Amino acid sequence: MLDPDYLEQAGDLVGAVYSEIEAEMVAYLVDAMLKGDVSEWRAQWALRSFSQWDAARLRAIVQRHKNDVSRAVLLEVEDAMRRSDEADLAAIKAALGVELPSITSQEVASVVRTVTEMLERDNVAMTMGATQAFYRESTWAVTQVGTGAMSTAEAMRRATRQLARQGIDVIQYKDPTTGDLTAKSKADVAVRRHVRSQLSQACATRSLQLCDESGCGFVEVSSHVGARPSHQDWEGQCYSLHGEVTVDGKTYADFWDATGYNGVSGDHAALGDRLCGVNCRHQFGPWAPGMPHAFHPRPRHPSGKSSEEVYKLTQRQRALERAVRDSKREYQAARKAYELQRTPESLRDAAKAKSLMQSRQQRLLDHISENSDVLTRDVQREWAGDMPKTRLGS
Ligand SMILES: [Zn+2]
């Protein structure tokens, strides 16, 4: 079992590398647009000419970060699987006096492979998203110039800043975590979510395997502040893995039925309602009647703030972090436009983008310090093209 705070951070390391990949892709597209002569362009021409060489160049950017991605995946998977395993093995020993061997390197490697394969699909989807962003903005710029709405220089400056601000979407025909068809989400957000849910599922599968091997018939489900209402119905309780059962006068509900874990039975089988479903931070681990409880239903936050307040503050932090990343890319695009064409207008744009970035960084810091009883800063989530070179301890 992984605790909810741990799962909240899971995927951040891989996500940070993808924020860098996204920033580089954006920088590349911005450069291609700024160096292209839009007055000569027609929308169709832009589409055709770009598609001949774009995919290869975009793939090369992903390729350059391959080692960083592999290292981040290995660190995250290894740490999560071993941590979860240690907690489960200790619980089994305490509950049943049974000692089982730890998870093997091969088993960890198999999870690493699964995560890597998923990221390879994300890479393809990201390349598609980047190509679409280029088409969208260059078509927009061509139209502005064509209709006389603005000068070529202004159209290009605006289009590239729009592209940089919006970043790159991952476009998928079937999102592996939400099951949505043609899902579109921001690249780093999608990657974080995918890694987190793969880790959650891999640990859950391993926990069930250990219960099976040790003959442990009960599990405890974790709980956290700010859980979704449908998850509050089943969080922080202990369940029987083999149908409802009464021990020493206490009745334990059936795990599968109560939590919807397998997605088949009970009132919580829907993907958003079930244990270990989309964006779920709950987990479960071996337990036995008589053992102490590590979790309780609907826990209170130490700050005394309500679940809803904590949830809102955290969501606000996430939104501000995203805004910081967006404005960093936007500033880079504006600076590039100024470097290529040093005019008063491009200088003004770059200065504006810089002050926007700084004010967003300040707003995020203020939000965190004003709510320091709940929030802590997570710099990894603020990187976009400015990740320190000493990243990942290499
Ligand atoms: Zn949950």
For residue 230, report the distance from its CA to the centre of ligand 1, in Å: 8
For residue 302, report the distance from its CA to the centre of ligand 1, in Å: 20
For residue 227, report the distance from its CA to the centre of ligand 1, in Å: 6
| Tokens encoding 309 | 């307040």
Alpha helix ranges (H) inside 172-228: 187-214
| Chosen domain end from 261, 278, 299 | 299
In this structure, the answer to whether residues 306 and 280 fall within a common structural domain is no
For residue 261, report the distance from its CA to the centre of ligand 1, in Å: 11
pLDDT single digits (tens) 56-91 = 889 999 999 999 999 999 999 999 999 999 999 999
- The CA dihedral of 107, 109, 112, 116, to the nearest 10 degrees, is -130
Q: How many domains does the chain have?
A: 2
Looking at 68-77, 115-124, 166-175, which range is the least confident one?
166-175
In this structure, the answer to whether residues 29 and 65 fall within a common structural domain is yes
Cα distance between residue 362 and residue 351, in whole Å? 17
Which residues does 89 contact at the CB level (< 8 Å), separation at least 6? 99, 100, 102, 210
Of residues 207 and 132, more confidence is placed in 207
Q: What is the pTM of this model?
A: 0.89
Cα distance between residue 82 and residue 84, in whole Å? 5
Cα distance between residue 185 and residue 175, in whole Å? 10
For residue 244, report the distance from its CA to the centre of ligand 1, in Å: 22
For residue 69, report the distance from its CA to the centre of ligand 1, in Å: 27
In this structure, the answer to whether residues 81 and 66 fall within a common structural domain is yes
For residue 288, report the distance from its CA to the centre of ligand 1, in Å: 22
Question: Of the candidates 123, 115, 120, which has an alpha carbon nearest to the alpha carbon of residue 55?
Answer: 123
For residue 300, report the distance from its CA to the centre of ligand 1, in Å: 16
For residue 278, report the distance from its CA to the centre of ligand 1, in Å: 8
Q: How many CA atoms lie within 13 A of 275 on its CB side?
A: 32
Task: Give the model's pLDDT for residue 388.
Answer: 82
For residue 29, report the distance from its CA to the centre of ligand 1, in Å: 38
Three-state DSSP class for 385?
coil
For residue 276, report the distance from its CA to the centre of ligand 1, in Å: 6
In this structure, the answer to whether residues 52 and 148 fall within a common structural domain is yes
DSSP secondary-structure letter at 378?
-
For residue 28, report the distance from its CA to the centre of ligand 1, in Å: 39
Task: Give the model's pLDDT for residue 363.
Answer: 98
Three-state DSSP class for 329?
helix
| Chosen domain end from 252, 275, 299 | 299
For residue 192, report the distance from its CA to the centre of ligand 1, in Å: 16
| Chosen domain end from 268, 299, 330 | 299
Cα distance between residue 181 and residue 175, in whole Å? 6
In this structure, the answer to whether residues 238 and 350 fall within a common structural domain is no
In this structure, the answer to whether residues 238 and 339 fall within a common structural domain is no
pLDDT single digits (tens) 174-220 = 666 666 667 778 898 899 999 999 999 999 999 999 999 999 999 99
In this structure, the answer to whether residues 146 and 293 fall within a common structural domain is no
What is the span of the domain harbouring residue 372?
4-215+300-393
pLDDT band for position 321 (50/70/90)?
very high
Q: At residue 342, does pLDDT exceed 90?
A: yes
Phi-psi region of 304 (alpha: psi -120 to 50; beta: other; left: phi over 0): left
Counts of helices then strands in the chain (DSSP H, E): 11, 7
% of the chain residues with pLDDT over 90: 71
Task: Give the model's pLDDT for residue 394.
Answer: 47
DSSP secondary-structure letter at 281?
-
Which residues does 163 contact at the CB level (< 8 Å), separation at least 6? 26, 29, 30, 33, 133, 134, 136, 137, 333
pLDDT single digits (tens) 22-60 = 999 999 999 888 887 655 655 555 555 565 567 788 999
For residue 213, report the distance from its CA to the centre of ligand 1, in Å: 26
In this structure, the answer to whether residues 327 and 221 fall within a common structural domain is no
In this structure, the answer to whether residues 250 and 109 fall within a common structural domain is no
How does DSSP assign 115-177, residue by residue? HHHHHHHHHHHHHHHHHHHHHHHHHHHHHHHHTTSS-HHHHHHHHHHHHHHH--EEEEEE-TT
